[in-house]
Structure 1
Amino acid sequence: MELSLKGRKALVTGGSRGVGRGIVLTLARAGVDVITCYRQEGEAVDSLQRELKQIGGDHHVVRADLTDPADVEALLAECANRFGRLDVVVNNAGAISHIPYADLPLDEWHRVVDTNVTAVFLVIKHALPLLGEDSSVISIGSKVAEVGIPTRAHYTASKAALVGLTRSLAKELGPRGIRVNVLALGVIETEALHALPEEQRIGMLERYSAKTALGRLGRPEEVGGAVLFLASPLSKYVTGATVHVDGGIS
């Protein structure tokens, strides 16, 4: 069985940088037409548009602040207008910060939870009229939901919430042929890591690489590969699952 993704229509949130960018480009190279969104203008957006043009296909990069319900509604209206349907939805956009729990402000709790959970709720809700038989909803979670980590209680809680949401939606939407899964990521090597001061960057690379079974960090395109699997007929009997893409990190 082949991936059979050519001509399928996908929405990937937060696709201009990091993991999201890797997912967008991987899907586009597999023949999927992709709409993705970004929050802030910049060279990352411009370069993504150039890469997608070189790959070819019907791709669109639009601005949307997913913490604004009106923006989410407008984003899905854009998908409806341009594609008429969606076969794949990837909830990738996320927020994170590192703050001791005792010092965690309520507005920062809301910022992270609204981006990582409430936006996912809204995206899926507005996508439902566009999703048909054999469509796939994929949310980008984290290994941290299982193990926890100091100073990231709000982030951990938000990623754990995605697991529960996924399990419930898989059962509710399964009769419609819609599959819903989570990818639990380990540490992925993105431009954010490379932007750190050299000593800090090297230290993180060494520390986290040593924790993985494969002895290295993941790459965005490897997350894209897992998305391809969950978007394709190869995973027709996979739903409600948390699939780990973490290099065997402990």
Structure 2
Amino acid sequence: MSEPAGSLAGRRVLITGGTRGIGRATALACARRGARLVLCYAHDEAAADLFAAELKDAGGGPHRVVRADVTDQAGVRHLAGICRDELGGLDAVVNNVGVDGRAALEEMTPQEWDRVLDLDLTAAFLVSRETLGLLSPGASVVHIGASAALRGRPHSAHYAAAKSALVGLTRTLAREVGDRGIRVNVIAPGVIVTETDPGPPPPVADLIKQMTALRRLGTPADVAGAVVYLVGDESRYVSGSILHVDGGI
């Protein structure tokens, strides 16, 4: 008997930055559909422990929440080892870790450039490279990009460069692993309001809403729904694509 549409029962999924914002919403959405998860976080152990308890009640599982620095090769190898030892492999990788940054180019320091590129691009490279050997035939890799990077955004050259580079990484990797049936796609969210990022100030938020076809800002659940689609069988012939989740901005 085939699984119902949208089911992720038994799927083994790694989500980086999986305890807050888009990662948190994605983890809950996958768990409720029956997936088994490994999540990683960077700093807040207390918050991670609380979320691990919440995740246990969401379904799927068993799940594992671990601390890992995904900008560090050794940290990524440790994370991949956990996926291998506890899940026996992976059916999906969601490269969600990222950070925003604001600085005019003429004032941007090399340290600030490196910080943003490490988290928004290098982490996806390291995690993708280290987990390729764990991916099952027909697996899915999802990168979380940004719609602003495709349009450009003042005072965000490092952010836009990193998120734009994810598109090139996605299209290239899709061709490299397509003969194994592995799909690679990137999601380009618009302005997303999370528990840690309330979004732009009201006048700017109102302007963005007026520029958006759906007349609202996005939520983590909006992006999580797109991730579930790309991880599941409904997107089995979708690869190398950019999925815009920006309300029609």
| TM-score range normalised by the length of the shorter chain | over 0.9
- Deviation, structure 1 residue 96: 1.8
- CA distance in structure 2 between the aligned counterparts of 1:58 and 1:247, rounded to whole angstroms: 34
Structure 2 residue 78 is the aligned partner of structure 1 residue 74: yes
CA contact (8 A) 1:90 1:140 kept: yes
Determine the structure 2 residue equivalent to 1:140.
144
Partner SS state of residue 37, structure 1: strand
Following the alignment from structure 1 to structure 2, what is the Cα–Cα distance between the partners of residues 59 and 41? 18
Question: Are residue 65 (structure 1) and residue 74 (structure 2) matched?
Answer: no
Residues 35-82 of structure 1: CA distance to partner in whole angstroms, max 9, x if unpaired? 111100244313311210211321111001112111011111111111
Report deviation, 1:4: 3.5
Task: State the one-letter code of the partner of 1:172.
Answer: E
- Greater shift, 201-210 or 151-160, is seen at 201-210
The count of corresponding residues between Structure 1 and Structure 2 is 245
**Which secondary structure state, in structure 1, belongs to the residue aligned with residue 197 of structure 2?**
helix
What is the CA deviation profile of residues 184-215 of structure 1, one whole-angstrom value per residue up to 9, with x for unaligned ones? 01011101233x7xxx6433432322221101
Corresponding residue of 1:205: 205
Residue 193 of structure 2 is aligned with which of 189, 195, 210?
Answer: 189
Compared with structure 1, are the counterparts of its residues 134 and 156 closer, same or farther at alpha carbon in structure 2 (3 Å cutoff)? same
TM-score, with normalisation over the residues of structure 1?
0.94
Percent of pairs with identical residues = 47
What's the RMSD between the two structures over aligned residues?
Answer: 1.4
Q: Which position in structure 2 is the counterpart of 1:240? A: 240
Instruction: State the alpha-carbon separation in 1 of the partners of residues 227 and 8 from structure 2.
Output: 12
Question: 2:104 matched to 1:106?
Answer: no
Equivalent residues of 2:16, 2:40 under 8 A apart: yes
Q: 1:205 to 1:51 in 2, by over 3 A?
A: farther
Among 168, 171, 174, the alignment partner of 1:170 is: 174
**2:55 alignment partner in structure 1:** 52
Gaps of 5+ in 1: none
1:160 aligns with 164
Report the Cα offset of residue 144 of structure 1. Answer: 1.4
Q: For the residues of structure 2 that align with 1:31 and 1:130, how far apart are their CA atoms?
A: 20
Kept after mapping to 1: 8 A contact 2:71/2:126 = no
Q: 2:6 and 2:29 mapped to 1: Cα distance?
A: 12
The CA deviation string for residues 9-56 of structure 1, in whole angstroms up to 9 with x for no partner, is: 000000111111111111111111111111002443133112102113
Gap regions ≥5 residues in structure 2: none
Q: Which amino acid aligns with 2:14?
A: L
Confirm or deny that 1:180 pairs with 2:184. yes
Pairing 1:35-50 to 2, within 5 Å after superposition: 35-50=38-53
Structure 1, residues 207-237: CA drift from partner, whole Å, max 9, x if none?
3222211011111111111111111111111
Q: Distance in 1 between matches of 2:232 and 2:132?
A: 19
